[in-house]
Structure formats: C-alpha cells, structure tokens
Amino acid sequence: MKSLEELQTALGCRFADPGLLRLALTHPSVAHEQAARLQHNQRLEFLGDSVVELILTHELYRRLPALGEGGLTKARARLVNRRSLAERARRLGLGGYLALSRGE
C-alpha cells in the first residue's frame, strides 16, 4: 500500500485525522480476512455518498437555473455514477492506497 502522505498530496488536502483517511481506504474484506472486529469503510461510504450528493445537488441547482427537477436529477446521475467515479479513482491511482484482503 502506498503512503497516505502521497495520497494527501495528490488530493491537494491534509486530513486533520489521518486515521479517518486510513479507515476510508479499508475494504470490508480485510476485517473478514482477519476474523476481527476491525473497522472498515462502509459507514464512511454511507456518509460520504450523502455529502457528495448534497454538494453536487447544490452546485447544479445554482449553476443550471433553467433546468427543472428531472433535468437536474439526470445531470447529477451523469456526474456521480460507477463509471465516472471509477475513472476519477484510476486517475488518482486510488487502488494503490486501498487496504484489501488477499482475495480481493
């Protein structure tokens, strides 16, 4: 796994609590593999999904005043989907920072 310092540099931000960054990068498979009550990223993922949706919704609403609810919903869906997020993750090299089990 690459250094969290490198990732923070690539993201252009510093985490006040690097432990949260480490947790965000810990896949649930690690907890299953170690048969321990190890924390993993699913709770943070739930929270993060909501935060990203709120921020994007606000920006789209502000920047696209002529669009109605349907158009805004479609615009948001184009920005936040598996393909677009995977592409952003690849560009950051995020895979090298993830804590995964051997099976993953």
Domain locations in the chain as residue ranges:
4-97
Q: pLDDT value at position 2?
A: 77
Write down the CATH number for the domain with range 4-97: 1.10.1520.10
Burial class (CB in 10 A: 0-12, 13-18, 19+), 3: exposed
CB 92 within 8 A of CB 73: no
Is residue 84 predicted with pLDDT exceeding 90? Answer: no
pLDDT in tens, 13-31: 999 999 999 999 998 888 7
- Three-state secondary structure call for residue 25: coil
User: Do 79 and 62 contact (CB within 8 A), yes or no?
Assistant: no
Tens-place pLDDT, residues 68-81? 999 999 999 998 88
> Does the pLDDT of residue 1 top 70, yes or no?
no
Per-residue DSSP letters for 31-90? Answer: HHHHTS----THHHHHHHHHHHHHHHHHHHHHH-TT--HHHHHHHHHHHSSHHHHHHHHH
| pLDDT computed for residue 35 by the predictor | 62
pLDDT tens for residues 33-65?
Answer: 766 678 899 999 999 989 999 999 999 999 999
